[in-house]
């Protein structure tokens, strides 16, 4: 065998090894691609129902938010109506009620003075509380004076 024949055989063996290596690599790559395709199909199969459920949940949440918004606007309307009503009542009845109360107070004082005589408060009937005990008004005047 000559040098050229040995070189040809070496080249053929090299190509055979290279082709075998590439065939094994391609077989592994094909196997990996099949597994990846199956995985993507499984994920898609599970993701579609999850997305449908998520969409239904979002729709339900939107419905609830619409209800809460309606309730909040109703509460705001009731609050403004109550405020307007209290303002109306205060302006309508406030002044006259104060006048009636002042008149009643004046009448009570006038009746109280007429019973006691000469506008002087009755000394024996009046009592004052000092540090948890009741003291007749005569003693109170002595303590003050």
CA Rg, the chain, in Å? Answer: 52
Tokens of 94: 């406030």
Element holding 127 (H helix, E strand): strand 127-130
pLDDT score of 126:
58
What is the C-alpha separation between 127 and 137, in angstroms, rounded? 5
DSSP code at position 82: H
Per-residue model confidence (pLDDT) at position 132: 56
Contacts of 122 (CB under 8 A, 6+ apart): 116
pLDDT at 111: 86
Q: Are 138 and 126 in contact (CB under 8 A)?
A: no
Secondary structure letter of residue 126 according to DSSP = -
Q: Mean pLDDT by 10-residue block, N- to C-terminus, for the chain (145 residues)?
A: 83 92 96 95 90 94 96 94 88 81 88 65 54 56 55
């Amino acid at each position: 065998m000559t040098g050229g024949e040995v070189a040809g055989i070496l080249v053929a063996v090299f190509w055979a090894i290279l082709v075998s290596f590439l065939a094994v690599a391609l077989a592994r790559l094909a196997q990996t691609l099949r597994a990846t395709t199956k995985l993507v199909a499984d994920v898609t199969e599970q993701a579609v129902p999850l997305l449908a459920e998520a969409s239904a949940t979002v729709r339900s949440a939107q419905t609830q938010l619409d209800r809460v918004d309606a309730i909040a606007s109703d509460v705001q309307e009731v609050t403004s109506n109550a405020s307007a009503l209290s303002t109306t009542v205060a302006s309508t009845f406030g002044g006259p009620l104060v006048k009636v109360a002042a008149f009643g107070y004046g009448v009570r004082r006038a009746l109280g003075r007429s019973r006691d005589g000469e506008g002087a408060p009755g000394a024996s009937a009046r009592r004052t509380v000092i540090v948890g005990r009741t003291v007749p008004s005569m003693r109170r005047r002595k303590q003050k004076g």
